[in-house]
Chains A and B, each alone.
Chain A
Amino acid sequence: MSEPLLKIDHVSKRFTRDLGLIQRGLARLTGGRGVETVHALTDVNLSVQRGEVLGIVGESGCGKSTLGRIASGIYAATEGSVTLDGQPVAQERGGRTQKLTTKVQMIHQDPFASLNPRMKVGETIGEGPRLNHLAKAPEVRARTRELLEQVGLEATYVDRYPHQFSGGQRQRIAIARALAMNPEVLVLDEAVASLDVSIQAQVLNVFTDLRRDLGLTALFISHDLSVVRHVCDRVAIMYLGRVVELADASVLYDKPLHPYTEALFASVPTLGTGRARFNPIKGEIPSPLNPPSGCAFHPRCPLAGPRCRAEVPRLRGTTVGRDVACHLHDGGTGVEAA
């Protein structure tokens, strides 16, 4: 395999609550005790090849959005690094995250929140390249119109405001804004989740067309398994801040190995079998404030053994193109031994 374009290397992210001056002093005195820490990501390793679309799937609260924001340089990782072509994507300086590249662009979930309501669409799309000196103002204007047409809108829309558009149109504008920066990697954070199903299809078509035409590399974050299957080459399943399974989409959908992946697929309502099957996963996702010991999934796992409660399973390759973090596929859960 060639050198990956985007490399997420042993990334962990922990959030602490914003403390006031007095509380911060107290925390320092007690050595950080009593400060609540959210373990959003723990030791995530992923790499994306040029031209590949990697899907990231998980329940809400599993850290997939945090991963997207770290990959696109909005947050800096607490540990580990994200590199694009060997160059770091962001750095921490003076307590603030500073993005170092224009080559990773993010598309947010909610197009009603991600566009500045008081800025014309043309300015929203054009300001990035203009202020980053990627092109001169007249070129940017021409390119803006071109981009609007490329995402299926009219070039004359440049002088309109976001509130004059529907959700699907807004999401296209957000895509055009991201494309204006000539990105090498797009991070789509639930980019179609807030749209109607028919509009989802349209926006996904725009995305697949662009992918074909521009050879885009992308991180596609979603909780919608059917959408991910359609769009992605490889899929990473996340649970409570860790990647539990990573495989080619076709292989994964064919036969999931991790009990969580299996449960996730089983929970998708299916049509056409005569009666609708719907098996939700039992239990709640545990709190990332206080993750369970061992395998994070063990409290909900029907196959958990003593080893699952004690030891964190590593993500390791089983067959070609397939990694899974489960003791079942790495020497057993300890049930047999007991």
Chain B
Amino acid sequence: MPGIVHDNVLTVPSAPPIETRITRLRNFWSDYCRSPIAVVALVVILVLLFVSFGAPLVSPQDPYDMAALDWLDAFLRPGDIGSGGYVHILGTDNAGRDMLSAIFYGLQTSFIIGLSAGALALLIGVTIGLCAAYFRGWVETVLMRIVDLQLSMPAILLALVLVAVLGQGVPQIIGALVVAQYAYFARTTHGAATVERGKDYIEAAQSTPLPTSRVLFAHLLPNVLPPLIVVATVQVASAIALEATLSFLGVGLPLTEPSLGSLISNGFKYIHSDRYWLSIYPGVFLMVTVVAINLVGDQVRTVLDPRNAR
């Protein structure tokens, strides 16, 4: 082709900077650190995760072990020394349980429920949202109308009804929370996937052709993931809060399997008799947990937002 400079002459093999996963992660981290509050929140979450899942190691007492409880230790004030010979930093409850230990174990239950309900809801919601956006037509109509219907009801109401039907226990609660929460994931996924689906790379993948599952999970899914990470953190926090609400209302977990909600509920009876610590401290832990998770989620959203890109 005369008159056109051949690429051997023109292209200088100037290699663009290699950006590996590690450097991207490093960039993400340095962006994240621009908010000190979010860093504090992350540290708080890590500490809470450690004390809850390491509860047998760090808590002074095993609140599940009825034999270790002593009636004489009931209603000790925060800072009192009980029959075990150690300080009950947050006092004890009506059965003589060390509140700090109960809170650590309760936090563990709350985390297990929040994380597994969040993960399951993510899995189900994402699949529904992806399929609706990809297949369109009646699939989309049916799936998204169900989701809309569910989003028009308060999640707590749905969870209450489901727990009443399913009964008490950790798996039942998780099930109820998943049903109450998957719709948020489905809606977010659907919105993001509808945008991505119209892009040429999806058409290119279809016209190669590639199997539908490949287009869905290797091409569409990775590109709708960022907003989902944010929704997931928020939903874990709201699952923990929902569970606490259910337990507080008495339909969640029994006190033998303490979660933060059942601890608050148990102490609530005594709040007017000056024994505030039974309810207040689990409440403070619940609030701190939920707020910290939300702060982390907020900062992740800010960092992932391309409009804030450097």
Binding site for B on A (CB under 8 A): 18, 20-21, 69, 72-74, 95-96, 99, 102, 105-106, 108-110, 113-119, 127-128, 131-132, 152, 154, 160-161, 164-165, 174, 177, 181, 198, 201-202, 204-206, 208, 230
Contacts and interface: CB of A to CB of B under 8 A. Distances in A.
Interface of B: 1, 4-7, 10-11, 13, 15-19, 135-138, 141, 199-201, 203-211, 214, 218-219, 222-223
Contact of A20 (B1, B141, B208, B219): B141
B107 to A, nearest CB: 35
Contacts of B222: 116, 118-119
Nearest to B136: A18
B7 A205 contact: yes
Nearest to B141: A21
Given A21-B141, A152-B11, A205-B1, A116 B207 contact: no
B223 A117 contact: yes
A interface, by DSSP: helix, strand, loop or mixed?
A: loop
* Candidate in B7, B207, B208 with the most chain A CB atoms within 10 angstroms: B207
A2 B87 CA distance: 97
A95 B140 CA distance: 14
29 contacts: A18-B136, A21-B141, A73-B209, A96-B135, A99-B206, A102-B209, A105-B207, A106-B207, A114-B204, A115-B201, A116-B201, A116-B219, A116-B223, A127-B210, A131-B214, A132-B210, A161-B19, A164-B16, A164-B18, A177-B204, A198-B10, A201-B4, A202-B5, A202-B7, A202-B10, A202-B11, A204-B4, A205-B1, A205-B7
A198 B18 CA distance: 25
Contacts of B219: 116, 119
Contacts, number: 97
A317 B209 CA distance: 37
Contact of B208 (A118, A161, A181): A181
Contacts of A109: 200
A193 B6 CA distance: 19
A205 B4 contact: yes
Nearest to B8: A152
3 nearest CB pairs, A to B? A114-B200, A113-B200, A202-B7
B1 A73 contact: no
A108 B16 contact: no
B218 A127 contact: yes
Contact of A110 (B138, B200, B214): B200
A204 to B, nearest CB: 7
Contact of B223 (A72, A118, A132, A160): A118
B200 A204 contact: no
Nearest to A206: B7
A110 to B, nearest CB: 6
Nearest to B4: A201
Contact of B6 (A95, A99, A205): A205
A181 B7 CA distance: 24
Given A114-B201, A208-B1, A128 B223 contact: no
B55 to A, nearest CB: 39
A102 B211 CA distance: 12
A135 to B, nearest CB: 14
Nearest to A166: B16
A154 B12 CA distance: 11
Contact of A74 (B5, B136, B199, B206): B206
B10 A230 contact: no
B168 to A, nearest CB: 41
A136 B203 CA distance: 25
Contacts of B223: 116-118
A28 to B, nearest CB: 15
Contacts of B19: 160-161, 164
Contacts of B5: 198, 201-202
A116 B205 contact: yes
A132 B6 contact: no
A95 B141 contact: no
Given A108-B204, A152-B7, 18 more contacts: A21-B138, A114-B203, A115-B204, A118-B222, A119-B219, A119-B222, A132-B208, A132-B209, A154-B13, A160-B18, A160-B19, A161-B19, A198-B5, A198-B10, A201-B1, A201-B4, A204-B4, A205-B6
* Candidate in B141, B209, B219, B223 with the most chain A CB atoms within 10 angstroms: B209
